[in-house]
Chains A and B, each alone.
Chain A
Amino acid sequence: MADSVNTKGFMRTKVTGEHRLGFCEKCGTKTEKEFYMDGNRKRVHMTCPSCGGQGKLIAKTYSVQPPTPPQCLRMSCLWGFFKDTLFCALLSNYHARRVAYAEANRNKTILERYRTGEPSPKNIWQCIHANVKLACPICRKYNGGTK
């Protein structure tokens, strides 16, 4: 294509960190490391030896992947890249503030979405809404709206 620009291959890395209490949420027993099979993949998590439960989730971190570089110089491509970049920045900001909020309130009752990160905002508008809601002490107590 005459109007395409070259991009390059790269190493895409995703990491999540799940911070939990070390005692079972249901029965209070100390959780232990357990290996299990997820399809063909051997994985590990902390489970309760008595009831199979897990420790209370405090916060889960997420990788926000940077947008794919534009594949052409048309306005539609550049505009799409601009929107993706803005979305990435807003989403990163939301998850950073969400995790900090959840960690600061580890022993309090807060909306589960701030601990799990799900549902995550899906577009720019939802990101703006979620960030405004997270900043408002009254709004963030209630589980209404899209975010």
Chain B
Amino acid sequence: MSQSQTWTDTGIAELILLLREEVATGMESIVALNMATPCTAAVASTYADPADTATHHTDSGLAIQAIDTVAGDTVNTAGDTILFDHVFTATATKNVAGIHVCNNDDDVAFIECCFNAVLPMESTDTCTIDGQSTIEQA
């Protein structure tokens, strides 16, 4: 299974709400996905229903938490990219199949990523996430 990552439909809807200055919040949180086998990221995934049979970790250092750093960047046109970095530190043996990058209200997943393979993390293991998303013109 190859690594897959995508903006979700609900993530795009949240982004549009932000553009319309409606009630919405920006990219602030991140959570690790729990699944024993590799998952496949899907646009139809939601915060409440991640890819395949994946669920959110709820403890052991992998539960939803504030993203360590979020920044803007330029790839093609000025300011067209958002960057996010985060380090998870596991406090127990857990499988990490991927991540959800979420809004500040912790109710919308902007980006879903399913890793190349499941990362079987043991206590004190760390997983450093380096993410980048660019809006490209036609």
Q: CB within 8 Å of B: which residues of A?
A: 6-23, 30-31, 33, 35, 41-46, 55, 58-59, 61-64, 89, 92-93, 95-100, 103, 106
Contacts and interface: CB of A to CB of B under 8 A. Distances in A.
B2 A103 contact: no
Contacts of B138: 6-9
A9 B85 contact: no
A95 B116 contact: yes
A23 B123 CA distance: 11
Interface residues of B, number: 43
B87 A35 contact: no
Interface in B62-84: 68-69, 71, 73, 83
Contacts of B133: 11-14
Q: Provide the main secondary structure of the chain B interface.
A: strand
B99 interface: yes
B3 A64 contact: yes
Q: Which 3 A-B pairs have the closest CB atoms?
A: A92-B2, A22-B124, A100-B117
B131 A14 contact: yes
B127 A19 contact: yes
A44 B120 CA distance: 22
